[in-house]
Amino acid sequence: MIKNQLKTVLLLGALTGLMLFVGQFIGGTTGLTIALILALSLNFIVYLFSDKIVLAMYRARQAERGSELYSIVKEVARKANLPTPKVYIINSANPNAFATGRNPKNSAVACTTGILDLLNKEELEGVIAHELSHIKNRDTLIATIAAAIAGVISYVAAMARWTAIFGGYDSRDRRGGSGIELLVLAVLTPIIATLIQLAISRSREYIADESAARLLHNHKGLSNALLKLEQGTKLRPMAKGNEATASLFIVNPFSGQALINLFSTHPPISKRVEKLNSLKL
């Protein structure tokens, strides 16, 4: 877990460094400051209302307090020393779950009808522990910070592309750069920023997996659940939804793993299961 925590810090540092480099190269501090204010403002709004936005997007309905799902969430939250989050159910055959909310006091866990039909109690407990670990580890905050920085880079790079295309860049710039160099930088940096952002997402998944296993003193429930969810998602991918929300779910609900792991929102299930099975609890 310490290794993945350190990896997150280093990746966030790399993302910040990339932002500062792009800002200095393209427009100095003024342009970067404007882009930073815009990106942070947008992400702050999303951070405050992300739970309502995503729950409404998937037409989630609140679970009854007497349901088995609510009881499992309440018990796992007690073990994690967390307030019981709001519990929602999404009407979808795709077996999946996600957590959302800006902090433990304002959080929610949502499960699809598909996951409730597919998993047994031990496996569902493992999934819920994983999602509550995301809440406890403040992964929503980390994801928001990463998105804000990546947003700044993409915004500044977009301005740079237009500048390079329409010749607004002075080839006699103090750095001696050219419009072609600017265009290359403007195209490559958003890709690099996205890769770093996805790497952060994958590292947080490993941390949540380990946190869940240690919380329950049991890795079998979650590892078995992940294997079932991988197969279930292949058979029943989510028909409706926004692929931008894929990183929220415990497994990618749309098309499974990306062909190239660098572009994947989640680590390979095989590696997640391998790491879980190697834990000494």
Q: Rounded CA gap, 141 and 149, in Å? A: 13
Q: Which domain holds residue 200?
A: 2-277
Nearest CA-CA partner of 256 in 245, 244, 268: 268
More confident site: 186 or 277: 277
Looking at this protein, which amino acid is placed at residue 128? I
Q: Rounded CA gap, 134 and 54, in Å? A: 16
User: Which pTM value belongs to this model?
Assistant: 0.78
Least confident of 7-16, 41-50, 89-98, 213-222: 7-16
User: How does DSSP classify residue 86?
Assistant: E
Looking at residue 173, its pLDDT comes to 47
Check whether 117 has a pLDDT greater than 50. yes
Looking at residue 248, its pLDDT comes to 87
Structure-token match 């790491």, residue found: 275
Q: Rounded CA gap, 134 and 280, in Å? A: 21
Residue 70 · residue 89 · CB < 8 Å = no
Q: Rounded CA gap, 163 and 9, in Å? A: 33
- What percent of the chain stands above pLDDT 90? 46
Exactly one of 68, 123, 125, 131 is catalytic; name it.
131
Give CA separation, 218 vs 16, 212, 222, in Å.
37, 8, 8
Check whether 126 has a pLDDT greater than 70. yes
Q: Is 68 a catalytic residue?
A: no
User: How does DSSP classify residue 236?
Assistant: S
Give the mean model confidence (pLDDT) for residues 143-171: 62
Give CA separation, 45 vs 36, 48, 66, 245, in Å.
14, 5, 33, 16
Least confident of 80-84, 140-144, 256-260: 256-260
Least confident of 54-68, 104-118, 138-152, 226-240: 138-152
Q: Helix, strand, or coil here: 99? A: strand
Confidence of residue 166 (pLDDT cuts 50, 70, 90): low
In the chain, the number of structural domains is: 1
Residue 134 · residue 203 · CB < 8 Å = no
| pLDDT tens for each residue of 65-93 | 999 999 999 999 999 999 999 999 999 99
Q: Which residues pair with 103 in a beta bridge?
A: 106
Mean pLDDT, the chain, whole residue set: 80
Q: Rounded CA gap, 237 and 234, in Å? A: 6
Looking at residue 169, its pLDDT comes to 47
Q: Which of 12-26, 177-191, 227-241 has the highest mean pLDDT?
A: 227-241
